[in-house]
Structure 1
Amino acid sequence: MTSARRPARPAYSAYPARPSWAGRNYLLLTGAAVVSGLGSSGALVAGAFAVLAAGGSATDVGLVAAARTVPLVVFVLIGGALADRLPRHRVMVAANTLNCLSQGLFAVLVLTGTARVWQMALLAALGGTGQAFFSPAAEGMVMASVSGSSSGRAFAVFRMGMNGANILGTGLGGALVAAVGPGWVLAADAGAFAVAAGLRAFLDVRAVPVRPGGAGLLADLRDGWREVAGRRWLWAIVVQFSVVNAVIAAAETVYGPLVARERLGGPQPWGLALAAFGAGTVLGGLLMTRWAPRRLLLAGMAGVLPLALPSAALAVPVATPVLVAVMLVTGVSVEVFSVAWMSALHQEIPEEKFSRVSSYDWLGSLALVPVATALAGPAQDAVGRPAALWGCSAVVLALTLAVLCVPDVRRLTRRTEPVVAAAGGPGDAVSQDPGAAEQGAAGRGPAVHGTGGPLR
């Protein structure tokens, strides 16, 4: 008797194949970022309405927002130094836990009707403190969870998921605030932080090399500063974005809503423009999964130039369809820069110093934003809103063109060989091999995301 022949396995699967580079750590990190992004973007809407529901004014809303930003600026350098001394995944889990507790208490106060503005400001400050320790520890971890030639594509996919979660979370947050109130949205955010902490706790860190503790926090911070100051391309772009982020934040958070109210017909056109920007970031991430530019920072700086367009469009002001198109293009360009920038950092910065360098990047990205938003009103009163907006565009263009004059920015090349510092210091460790393969950034071994600041 002949045995029945087993049917051949079909050549297709009912489910799409997982990319070979999407390992366990990558999936955990991406899942955690999507979950926390959904919660946090909804909580931004809920927090503002919670302040107003408690009897606060527009000024109180701004004060609560500032209460979150100030500790983020104050503690981010310490967070970076600690993340290079301690296991980074534990710093991330601890920061997520602090955010979960602060948002949970915030939700309880709002749901019980006992919230006061000072209490909400204090809890927002605790959330900012958690973010200050989380961001440097998380920076680059996604990049290091995949091997060299896939790192750029992996980061682009990660950014797509994160940006998509932010878009969906903002829309859901607004709808849920209207349906059930801000307290339940804040409670959902606390739950999202708990889930994210749980996912990150399961990261496999057995291959992470043990890092020496160093001589102390201050010594570590000085060492991190030397890493930044010794690389011309790095400090030039950090200085550039300290100003670029500030003027764009002023244009889009202060001038944009005013132009929409007075010239475009109300908040709906501005909301549509912001949604187009979010859609552009997703499209930009999709582009960067297919494109791996060899001249990383040259391509990144080309992506920065369109950031001058939204301010110019508001200065005219253009019709709503044109503004929407401008914001869509800007969203795409932001992602081109973000992926190129993270690929460059991942390639050039030693793993054991990555969080310290990242903390200086975050500090530069955030430090001037409160100053610029505070001065936006007086600047408008002094020169008029159109002139102020044209000035924002001019600043973005001038600084970007100035950075393009830095030779290291134009020459830094994607490579797969390990970084070798030149005799002149870390700033000269720039690949100039015109024949380097157009592949992803070199894997630097397990490191532990975040792109600094509002745009990165």
Structure 2
Amino acid sequence: MRALRPLRRSAYRRLATALALSVLAEGLWTLAVVWQVVELGGGPVELSLVSGALALGVIVTALLGGVLADRVPQKRILVGVLAMLAVSIGLVAGLSALGALSVPLLVAVAAVIGLSMGLFFPAYSALVPAMVDADELLAVNGFEGVVRPVLLQGAGPALAGVLVAVWSPAAALGATAVACVAGLVAALALPARALRRDLTAEGTGHPVRAVLRDLVEGFRYMVGTRWLLVTLVFASLMILFVLGPLEVLVPFAIIERADGGPGGHSLVLLAYGAGGAIASIVVASLRLPRRYLTAMIVLWSVACVPMVVFGVATTLWPMVVAGFVLGGLFSAPQVIWGTLLQHRVPPALLGRVTSLDFFVSLAFMPVSMALAGPVSVVAGLTPVFLVAGLVPLLFGTVALVVGRLGPDELAHPLESADEVSTA
């Protein structure tokens, strides 16, 4: 199968293993932290604080992560991040088991976890093209598109749900730390890879000025590249309206409207993961659409509509179906997006552009998560989910009309690109 072809390379298998275990840890954390907050007597507002702290940590280090990914061997970054995650989450698990954990302490540790996570993805993304050939990038992104939903929304939350139901949130948090340790072992086994950027020709100026120069160079590329800027602005606005309700309020919709618990929550996340995995395999196994930019924005816009279900359904099964559709429609364009960046962004800029993608598209993530709980308390769950499901359709329409992406995507077909170009 085309999507699995890169796994024949031992170096990429180790990288994929490190990624898979880190995503599994994230999936375990996603559900475990919800029920840890509930066990501590918290509700949507407290969960918003924890989720917002983690999201803010990611944002703070995302830009630095891109600079480091273009300057420091990416293996070192991955090893350091996974070690920090293992220690931080292990500390939370231990304190929870001892009954010494509190919401403020959980917020503080969540921020540390976010700071670490902000460094991971730019390093991973910059390392991928060094591990595989250019014609395997779509397959790599398809495989990643399967791994993320299966483990992040599927196996991770399902396992965490079982551990919470049978034992406690502390057990699920302990399993999260174990997954990080296993990912650390896989990252340590990665081969050394030369940086894709020659720094010797750039002199030995002051490191702070060098970092700022790198950030400015990446920012100029983003602003001067229409398809990149339009897509990132659209994604930022979509995330502002969708991510908070999705991450913070869905568990409480299941509790309050469908009389559910950890099992129901994990079932919805499992459906989300299954939809994402199936869609990713399909996209990775077919030819890329000729109008790939248009396809991405249309799919992401339509993907938000099932959010309405969580605001109106009073039983669990419609929410499960909505989760499946959400997962599929969100993941399919993500496969295209990853391939697009790796084909059209110059290799020396890939780490910084990936981090800018991470930063700009998620800039509103902590705001969305922090506001979701308080807004739902004031306005109610139903209005929040209605807005989250319908407003992104307007953003997508404006992006397609104002962005004028058609001529660009027709002039730069991805399917025929055999090597990375400078766009």
**Aligned ranges 1:1-400 → 2 under 5 Å:** 19=5, 22-53=8-39, 55-58=40-43, 59-166=45-152, 167-212=154-199, 215-253=209-247, 256-257=250-251, 259-261=253-255, 263-267=257-261, 272-293=267-288, 294-317=290-313, 321-376=317-372, 386-400=382-396
Which blocks of at least 5 consecutive residues in structure 1 are unaligned?
1-17, 414-430, 446-456
Equivalent in the alignment of 1:451 = none
Whether the 8 Å CA contact 1:296–1:343 is kept in 2: the answer is: no
Whether the 8 Å CA contact 1:346–1:442 is kept in 2: the answer is: no
- Greater shift, 382-391 or 233-242, is seen at 382-391
Alignment TM-score, normalising by the size of structure 2 = 0.85
Q: CA deviation at 1:24?
A: 1.8
- CA distance in 1 between counterparts of 2:375 and 2:110 reads 28
In structure 1, the residue corresponding to 2:91 is in which secondary structure?
helix
Q: CA deviation at 1:91?
A: 1.2
Q: CA deviation at 1:252?
A: 2.7
Alignment CA distance shift 1:343-1:36 (3 Å): same
Alignment CA distance shift 1:80-1:125 (3 Å): same
User: RMSD across aligned C-alpha pairs, in angstroms?
Assistant: 3.0
Q: CA deviation at 1:407?
A: 5.7
Could you list the runs of 4 or more consecutive aligned residues of structure 1 that deviate by over 6 angstroms after TM superposition? 381-384
| Residue identity (%) | 27
Query: Computing the radius of gyration over CA atoms, which structure comes out larger, 1 or 2?
Result: 1
- CA distance in 2 between counterparts of 1:411 and 1:381 reads 45
Q: CA deviation at 1:306?
A: 2.0
Which blocks of at least 5 consecutive residues in structure 2 are unaligned?
203-208
Whether the 8 Å CA contact 1:111–1:183 is kept in 2: the answer is: yes
Render the CA deviation track for 1:196-246: whole Å, top value 9, x for unaligned: 122223323345445317551111111111011011111111111111112
Whether the 8 Å CA contact 2:143–2:280 is kept in 1: the answer is: yes
Higher relative contact order (CA 8 A, sep 6+): 2
Greater share of helix: 2
Equivalent in the alignment of 2:411 = 432
Q: Which amino acid aligns with 1:351?
A: P
Whether the 8 Å CA contact 2:138–2:284 is kept in 1: the answer is: yes
In structure 1, the residue corresponding to 2:99 is in which secondary structure?
coil
Whether the 8 Å CA contact 1:295–1:411 is kept in 2: the answer is: no
Equivalent in the alignment of 1:419 = none
Q: CA deviation at 1:27?
A: 0.7
- CA distance in 1 between counterparts of 2:150 and 2:279 reads 12
- CA distance in 1 between counterparts of 2:9 and 2:232 reads 31
Render the CA deviation track for 1:403-449: whole Å, top value 9, x for unaligned: 22256633444xxxxxxxxxxxxxxxxx616xx5835x54449xxxx
Whether the 8 Å CA contact 2:196–2:347 is kept in 1: the answer is: no
Q: Which amino acid aligns with 2:51?
A: A
Q: CA deviation at 1:280?
A: 0.4
Q: Which amino acid aligns with 2:279?
A: G
- Greater shift, 301-310 or 207-216, is seen at 207-216
